[in-house]
Structure formats: structure tokens, C-alpha cells
Amino acid sequence: MSEKNYTGASMKRHMGLQASRRIGNTAAYIVLTLISIIWLIPFVCILLQSFRVESTWQVGYVIPQQWGLDNYRNLWNTDFPKWYMNTLVMALVTAVLQTVIVLCMSYTLSRFRFKGRTFLMRFMLILGMFPGMLTMIILYRVLKDLGMTQANSVPGLILVYIASSGMGYYVSKGFFDTIPKSLDEAARIDGATRFQVLKKIILPLSKPIVIYTVLTAFMGPWGDYVFARYISFGTSAGMNVAVGMYNWLNKDQIASYYTMFCAGGVLVALPVTLLFLWLQKYYVEGVTGGAVKG
């Protein structure tokens, strides 16, 4: 085709692909940059304000006029270290026990066809429709009788976190479902008991889901507010970071604790975020698989 045959419309058709993609990409970069800024701003603010020394109030600017570690130092004079330890212990223990329970449940539901299996799954689905918070009223009183509330709330909260964790089996069951059943069958014919199948075949293949489960279980206690609030019931020594620091932002405390909240927030977020970034790949796999399986 020769040059002079190009009409306006056909010009547009011919330059189309490349040029329009370039325009589109530039727009996309602008939007992505904007998004990144919006998403990161609050965290940058927290970080910067945690170093602000000149006032503990909220202020109308982001960059401190006077830098220092006062806020971090002051944390030591509060119950913060206690809350931090509480949360850390709970997170570690929960990560281990919850993983064991979730894996037991999901592996069983994925691999065994026993009487009552569908009933069990439906039953748990229906149970899940009740607001979990409701159970706290009774659990608080029972745990209180057992001496596992208030100042001594760590074991009580661990129990609360892990006891019903079997109901969160969906994601890992979805993962196990993708491991071909014929592997189990081959191993059983090769002479393995069901336990050996789990130990020698399935678990070595389940690294991603084990890590995902550990990671989510570990993150749980750091973000929990409701259960910790019920079980610690106003006793500072038994609080986790969320309940403890929540009170700092009360109307009557915020003036003196605002920047300390930021400092505490940085200390809490740091280890969790680093761990998360390190294991990001597994988290993404778990989340994606879980959503598709429903």
C-alpha cells in the first residue's frame, strides 16, 4: 500500500497499537505512583512522628522539627514491654498449635471419606455464621473460674485463639486437594500406613501451605482486639498491644501518648512486616488458592 492511500481513519488505525500503548502506560505509571503514595503516606507519617520530640500532640505537619528517640525511651516507662511480650508469646505459641490443628483438620477433610464428613463440613459452615464474639461472654466467665483471665490472660487467650481454629480449614484443604490422590494411593500400596503417607509424602510437599498457616496464625494475635479486650478485662498486665495501645488514643490520653503510639506502632509493625515480606511468596499463594476454592 502506498503512502497517499492513508486516510485519516486508516492513519489512526495504523499508528494505533504502539502509540496508544505508550500513552496508556504513562497513565498507568501515574496512577500507580499516586496509589503507592496514598498507601504509604500513613505509614511514613507514623514513622516520622515517632521521632518527633517537640510535642506529643497531633500537629498539622509531617516532618518533625526536633528529632529524637524520646518516644521510644518513654515506652519503657509504660506497660508497653509487658504487652509486647504477651503478644509475642501468644503469637509464637498460636503459630505452632494453630498450624497443627488446622493441618490435621484440613488434611483429614481433604483425604478421608468417612461417615459424617459432609455433615461435619456443613455443620462448621453453619457454626461460622454465628458471630464469634457471642461466645466470649461465656468463655470469659469460664476462663475466669479457671484463673486464665485478666492479669493471667495469656494462656486463656491462647486457648481462645487455637481452640476453634479447626474451623478455618478452607485454604489448606484447597491446597491439599491439589495434591493428586494417586500419590496417597501409590504410597499405601507401597506399604505405607496413613500416618506414614502424611509424614513421608504429604508434609514434604506442603511447605507452602505450612508456611502460610504459620504466618497467618502468627499475625493473628498482633491484630486481635475483641478477644483480648474481653479476656484481659481492663487489667493492663494482661493486655496485648492492640488493647493496650487503643487506650492511648482515648480522648483524655491522646494528648500525651500520640507520638508514643506511633513509636509503639513502629516496634510492633517492624518484625511482623519483615517476616511477612520474607515469606510473602507463600502468603500470596495461600490467599490466591483460598479465594478460588471458595
The binder of other proteins chosen from 159, 210, 211, 237 (CB under 8 A): 159
The answer to whether 48 contacts other proteins (rule: CB under 8 A) is: no
Do the Cβ atoms of 202 and 185 come closer than 8 Å? no
DSSP 154-176: HHHHHHHHHHTGGG--HHHHHHH
The binder of other proteins chosen from 55, 135, 152, 236 (CB under 8 A): 135
The answer to whether 222 contacts other proteins (rule: CB under 8 A) is: yes
DSSP-derived secondary structure letter, 115? T
Q: Which stretch binds other proteins (CB under 8 A): 1-9, 70-78, 150-158, 159-167?
A: 159-167
Dist. CA 264–CA 84, nearest whole Å? 9
The answer to whether 245 contacts other proteins (rule: CB under 8 A) is: yes
CB of 245 to other proteins, least distance (A): 7
The answer to whether 17 contacts other proteins (rule: CB under 8 A) is: no
Q: Which is nearer to other proteins, 73 or 122 (CB)?
A: 122
Do the Cβ atoms of 227 and 209 come closer than 8 Å? no
3-state secondary structure of 214: helix
Do the Cβ atoms of 140 and 230 come closer than 8 Å? yes
The answer to whether 201 contacts other proteins (rule: CB under 8 A) is: yes
The binder of other proteins chosen from 36, 178, 235, 256 (CB under 8 A): 36
Dist. CA 208–CA 194, nearest whole Å? 22
Residue 293's H or E segment, with its range, is helix 280-293
The answer to whether 124 contacts other proteins (rule: CB under 8 A) is: yes
DSSP-derived secondary structure letter, 79? S
Dist. CA 188–CA 165, nearest whole Å? 29
The answer to whether 162 contacts other proteins (rule: CB under 8 A) is: yes
CB of 2 to other proteins, least distance (A): 27
The answer to whether 185 contacts other proteins (rule: CB under 8 A) is: yes
Q: Which stretch binds other proteins (CB under 8 A): 5-13, 26-34, 69-77, 148-156?
A: 26-34
The answer to whether 90 contacts other proteins (rule: CB under 8 A) is: no
